[in-house]
Amino acid sequence: MSKTDERRSVIVDRLADHVLAHGLVSASLRPLAKAAGTSDRMLLYYFADKSELLAATLQRIAERMTEAMAAKVSPEPLPLDLLRKRLAGMLFEDRFWPYMCVWIELASRAARGDPLYAPIAQAIGQGFLAWGEAQLAADSDEARSRDAARLLVSIEGMVLVRAIGLSETVDRSLG
């Protein structure tokens, strides 16, 4: 890894920390540069444009979350209901909730057709779908793919319902 690549990686880590703490609302160049300990011009030295910078930052956030999830999930594939319960319990922990808040912001901007955020959200969503497929026990590839889709859709619904203050409803759904 070159010195430039190392510096870029450090910047992306700092930006990921900043976005997790403050959300995407604070993702304009000046606040990001301040969080990275550099100027907005230097940020654009390491990244072609704001789109590339945000894509790298959000990808780093997704990587961190996936690594943390992998450390807490069984090494053996699990049935859908059991994986859903474990995953929901984990994602609603205080340390994971900032990731979910960023995800909600990202999904909201993608839903509005934001050309900057829509492809990033889709790529991260596909990554989580693939992660789910790798974690699920199923009788066939088709069943595993279907269950991964069910897992993603149900977890996303739970995240949204919890975000609007209906945690008890989420708890009942896991009953």
What does the pLDDT read at residue 75?
84
pLDDT for position 74: 79
Maximal CA-CA distance, the chain: 53
pLDDT tens column, 63-122: 998 888 878 777 899 999 999 998 998 888 999 999 999 999 999 999 999 998 999 899
Q: Look at residue 1 and tell me whether its pLDDT is greater than 80.
A: no
Confirm whether pTM is higher than 0.85. Answer: yes
Sign, Cα dihedral of 80, 78, 99, 13: negative
Q: What pLDDT is attached to residue 171?
A: 92
Residue 156 scores a pLDDT above 80: yes
1-57 is classed CATH 2.60.40: no
Count of CB atoms within 10 A of residue 146's CB? 15
pLDDT in tens, 117-143: 999 899 889 988 999 999 999 999 999
In this structure, what DSSP letter does residue 172 have?
H
pLDDT at 175: 82
Greater model confidence, 107 or 3 = 107
Residue 156 in tokens: 């996303």
117 class by beta-carbon count within 10 Å (0-12 exposed, 13-18 middle, 19+ buried):
buried
Domain residue limits, the chain: 1-57, 73-175
pLDDT digits (tens, 9 = 90+) for 11-54: 999 999 999 999 998 888 999 999 999 998 989 889 999 889 99
Residue 67: predicted pLDDT: 86
